[in-house]
Amino acid sequence: MKKVILILLAAVCPLLANAQSKQISEIFDKYEKKKHVESIVVTPSLLGFMLGGEDKEAKDLMSKIKEIRILNVPTNAIENGVPLRQILKDELDKLIIKEQFARAVKVNDGDELLEVYISQNDKGALLFLASSTAEFAVISIFGKIDKEVINSVMNGSLKLK
Amino acid sequence: MEKIQTTKTENIRVLLEMYFNGDSTLQDEETLRNYFSRNDIDPEFKQYSPLFNYFSQEKGAMDTHTKDTHTKVKHIFTKKMFFSSFSLSAAAALAIFTFILWPDQQKGVEMMIGGERINNEQLAISKTDEQLKKISSMMGIVDQSTSSLKKLSNVEKSLSIISKK
């Protein structure tokens, strides 16, 4: 019986770990089809190409990041009389509370606001919510989120060009 | 009893006449075959016995052969069906992998505006970098603030040493 429970737990745990990133992906999938919304998906093959090479640090980073997704909602995008950015923000806030994402940083610089959330498990997502008067952008980095990945984004070493 | 026998013999004679004239029905022929398969055949008709028994045997053999062939065909068909369905599944899996999954792995970046796919990799890359830069510049503010706090704590440390003195 114990064995059965252990096998079941082993089977269910990865599913739970991926649940948070899956739910974020579902939000991205839903909003990327909407009018005026801009969506970008950076797949591992491009990340490997751009970050690869001989640099060991870049290779390490590459092995951890699975995908980067960006969703850009301009302020003028309206749905049923409500700004789409507000609808998206509300949906993300609900998910953040439900899935117990930890808020790492909140920076307010004039009209710009940046919030950074990290999923509870390391195989999850790093979520950036960047808000300005012109747009609301959601950037999500999926993969094994650790200190190295967070630092690479913070210090600007994660770039594609 | 004899009357019944006579009627039966008469009946067979009529059926035989019809048979040789080519007027018999399938049911009549079946009656004749049944009659000649028995042991109590009227000696008058014994000469026709091999003919109808031959037909009966042939029919039996044909039925068995048909049954066997049918089973064989069915077996081959099932075997063929299994292999064809197996190869079809394999082909479908290969097609899905080749045309649906593989290109996604190969494609580095995907961009959509208003639900429409934009085939401009350079634009997508520059927009991604723009967003990543924005994040790092915002995070620079955090870095500045924390370094200011560090400096402040250093000043505090120095002041505490002075005040102790």
Q: Is residue B88 part of a domain?
A: no
Q: Which of A5-9, B21-25, B60-64 has the lowest mean pLDDT?
A: A5-9
Domain end (from B55, B81, B107)? B81
Q: Per-residue b/e over A81-102, b at no fewer than 16 CB within 10 Å?
A: eebbbebbbeebeebbeebebe
Contacts of A95 (CB under 8 A, 6+ apart): A23, A24, A27, A101
When pLDDT is averaged across residues A106-126 and rounded to a whole number, the result is: 86
**Nearest residue on chain A to B120, judged by CA atoms?**
A40
Domain end (from B36, B54, B81)? B81
Q: Which amino acid is at B90?
A: A
Q: Which residues is A71 bridged to in the sheet?
A: A39, A138
Measured between CB atoms, does A36 come within 8 Å of chain B?
yes
Q: Is residue A9 part of a domain?
A: no
Q: Is residue B17 part of a domain?
A: yes
Average pLDDT, chain B: 73
Residues B75 and B7 in one domain: yes
Phi, psi angles (nearest 5°) of residue A137: -115, 140
Q: Is residue B41 part of a domain?
A: yes
Q: Is residue A8 part of a domain?
A: no
Are residues A109 and A61 in contact, defined by beta-carbon separation less than 8 angstroms?
no
Q: Is residue B28 part of a domain?
A: yes
When pLDDT is averaged across residues B143-156 and rounded to a whole number, the result is: 68
- Selection from A50, A51, A49, A72 nearest residue A60 by Cα: A51
Residue linked to tokens 């990543």: B132
Q: Is residue B89 part of a domain?
A: no
**3-class DSSP assignment, residue A121:** coil
Tens digit of each residue's pLDDT (9 = 90 or more) over B135-149:
888 888 777 776 666
ipTM: 0.77
Measured between CB atoms, does A100 come within 8 Å of chain B?
no
Count of structural domains, chain B: 2
Residues of the domain holding A36 = 18-154
Residues of the domain holding B45 = 2-81
Q: Is residue A133 part of a domain?
A: yes
Measured between CB atoms, does B104 come within 8 Å of chain A?
yes
CB contact under 8 A, B129 and A49: no
A65 — pLDDT class (breaks 50, 70, 90):
confident
Count of structural domains, chain A: 1
Give burial (CB, 10 Å; 0-12/13-18/19+) of B139: buried
Domain end (from B35, B54, B81)? B81
